[in-house]
Amino acid sequence: MDFMAMPSADVLGVLIAIFSVAAIAAASSSYFLSRKPKGCLDPQKFKEFKLIKKTQISPDIARGKDREGQEVIRSYAPITLDSQVGYFELVIKMYPEGKMSNHFREMREGDYLAVKGPQTYKVPFNYKPGQVRAFGMIAGGSGITPLFQLTRAILENPEDKTIVHLIYANSTFEDILLKGDLDEFASKFPDRFKIYYVLSQPPEAWTGGSGHVSKEMIQNHCPPPAPDIQILRCGPPGMNEAMAAHLNALGYTSSMQYEF
């Protein structure tokens, strides 16, 4: 899975570059950045990618400059697969006062964004088809992106029989990113992909989970502790900390857990 640090390009105004890249901004908008063939990224050096498409997908959600002219660097996980050459897609959550959000907001199609990666984690996550029987995934907000990329790789590989159980938490219904894609996965692969949405501010007649992700939700919607399962989580620091406590209490060992 690629994780890329992005500084705002020298020119303001590139939210999505296809080269081919796509992203979603908060708001959220979808950005497409162009990308050369596989292997074009450099973990040590920034390279420029052209924004070819920018699409807003929700009302809210990389070296660039903020309003004060200071350079800003942020890390994002693409939602495209390595097999999709020529472009990559990013989901960008736009915040009213976010420094990188300001940069993306001002980008225009045809602008360039400087990107480097993939980022190396202290404990890297290297997935091989069939390495576990099932994944339990817990995502919060824009933390869905690395889990979406992995889920997509699993489900689109006919040789991979891994089962995925995803709990996805957000504040409001409008905050749910990639919902159309996730619902399509659930419809197309009913035996291999299960999703449970949780909202802290649910609308009337909401049939999903309400409040915050609890131990009971994990018990009901993730595979139980076993040597051949793994629970992956990605979300805000406070959520990650709470989920780790729940998982430990439920008997998931450290080898059964991974935090992006």
Instruction: Determine which helix (DSSP H) or strand (DSSP E) holds 245, and give its type and residue range.
Output: helix 237-249
Q: How would residue 137 be classed by pLDDT, with cut points 50, 70 and 90?
A: very high
**Domain regions of the chain by residue span:** 4-115, 134-259
Fold topology of 134-259: Rossmann fold (3.40.50)
Q: Which of 39-48, 141-150, 226-235 has the lowest mean pLDDT?
A: 39-48
Per-residue model confidence (pLDDT) at position 44: 76
Tell me how far the alpha carbon of residue 136 is from its chain's centroid. 15
To the nearest whole percent, how much of the chain has pLDDT over 90?
47
Query: Does 80 score more than 80 pLDDT?
Result: no
Query: Does 8 score more than 60 pLDDT?
Result: no
- Average pLDDT of span 116-142: 82
Q: Which of 223, 254, 220, 217 is nearest to 239 (CA)?
A: 217
Query: Does 200 score more than 80 pLDDT?
Result: yes
**DSSP labels, 164-193:** EEEEEEESSGGG-TTHHHHHHHHHH-TTTE
Q: Report phi then psi at 113, rounded to 5.
A: -125, 135
What pTM was estimated for this model as a whole? Answer: 0.73
Which amino acid is residue 76, in one-letter code? Y
Query: Does 230 score more than 60 pLDDT?
Result: yes
Rounded distance between C-alpha atoms, residue 226 and residue 133, angstroms? 10
Rounded distance between C-alpha atoms, residue 130 and residue 1, angstroms? 16
Return the half-sphere exposure (C-beta side, CA atoms, 13 A cut-off) of residue 153.
21
Rounded distance between C-alpha atoms, residue 147 and residue 240, angstroms? 14
Per-residue model confidence (pLDDT) at position 185: 97
Q: Which of 195, 148, 201, 194 is nearest to 173 (CA)?
A: 201
Per-residue model confidence (pLDDT) at position 77: 60
Per-residue model confidence (pLDDT) at position 46: 81
Instruction: Tell me if 162 sits within 8 A of 133, measured CB to CB.
Output: yes
- Average pLDDT of span 139-158: 92
Per-residue model confidence (pLDDT) at position 49: 78
Q: Which of 15-19, 50-54, 102-106, 165-169 has the lowest mean pLDDT?
A: 15-19
Average pLDDT, the chain: 77
Query: Does 61 score more than 60 pLDDT?
Result: no
Instruction: Name residues whose C-beta falls within 8 Å of residue 175's C-beta, 6 or more positions apart in sequence.
Output: 58, 60, 141
Q: Which of 60, 62, 110 is nearest to 90 (CA)?
A: 62
- Average pLDDT of span 216-245: 97
Query: Does 165 score more than 50 pLDDT?
Result: yes
Query: Does 48 score more than 50 pLDDT?
Result: yes
Radius of gyration, alpha carbons of the chain: 18
* Highest mean pLDDT out of 47-51, 117-121, 170-174, 214-218: 214-218
**DSSP labels, 53-89:** EEEE-SS---EEE-TTS-EEEEEE-B-S-TTSTTEEE
Per-residue model confidence (pLDDT) at position 111: 78
Fold topology of 4-115: Elongation Factor Tu (Ef-tu); domain 3 (2.40.30)
To the nearest whole percent, how much of the chain has pLDDT over 70?
62
Q: To 5 degrees, how large is the angle CA 223–CA 227–CA 230?
A: 50
Which amino acid is residue 199, in one-letter code? L
Instruction: Tell me if 256 sits within 8 A of 134, measured CB to CB.
Output: no
Secondary structure letter of residue 235 according to DSSP: S
